[in-house]
């Protein structure tokens, strides 16, 4: 903001009025509020969607599949920014459960959880706490799928 110029007289030189300090403080506060809102928005976007593994199982070491790798199963609960939850089961060679054979699981089954898993040479049997059972043939999760 520019200062106001006061006309000069022979006995008084020209002066400029100082700008108000409140304008600078207002801009500082506005910048601080904008920074907080931007940081909160960024953290929300980075945090969502999120997922958590609610159940883990691994094939017993005595069971060796054709691809010679250990295999893992996990029940993954995904939370979306919109509040929609979904459940998926992943079976594969990655102990971190980031890739493998994915199977969508109904929310009614996933939210109750898995009771037991039984690994066999032909595949894996999954029994949910609801009493429902699921069988995934080994050919679907062998060789890196």
Residue 60 dihedral angles phi and psi, to the nearest 5°: -65, 145
Tell me the pLDDT of the chain averaged across its residues.
87
Top pLDDT among 37 and 49 is at: 37
Model pLDDT, residue 84: 84
Minimum mean pLDDT range among 44-58, 84-98, 110-124: 44-58
Mean pLDDT in residue range 63-68: 93
CA 61, 66, 68, 72 torsion-angle sign: negative
- Per DSSP, the residues of 9-26 read BTTB---BPPPPHHHHHH
């Amino acid at each position: 903001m520019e200062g106001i110029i006061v006309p000069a007289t022979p006995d008084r030189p020209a002066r400029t009025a100082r700008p108000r300090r409140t304008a600078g403080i207002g801009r500082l506060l506005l910048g601080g509020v904008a920074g907080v809102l931007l940081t909160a928005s960024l953290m929300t976007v980075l945090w969502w969607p999120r997922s958590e593994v609610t159940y883990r199982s691994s094939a017993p070491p005595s069971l060796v599949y054709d691809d010679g790798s250990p295999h893992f199963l996990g029940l993954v609960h995904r939370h979306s920014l919109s509040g929609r939850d979904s459940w998926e089961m992943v079976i594969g060679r990655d102990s971190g459960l980031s890739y493998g054979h994915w199977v969508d699981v109904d929310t009614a089954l996933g939210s109750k959880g898995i009771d037991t898993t039984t690994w066999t040479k032909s595949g894996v049997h999954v029994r949910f706490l609801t009493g429902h059972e699921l069988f995934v043939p080994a050919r679907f999760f062998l060789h890196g799928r």
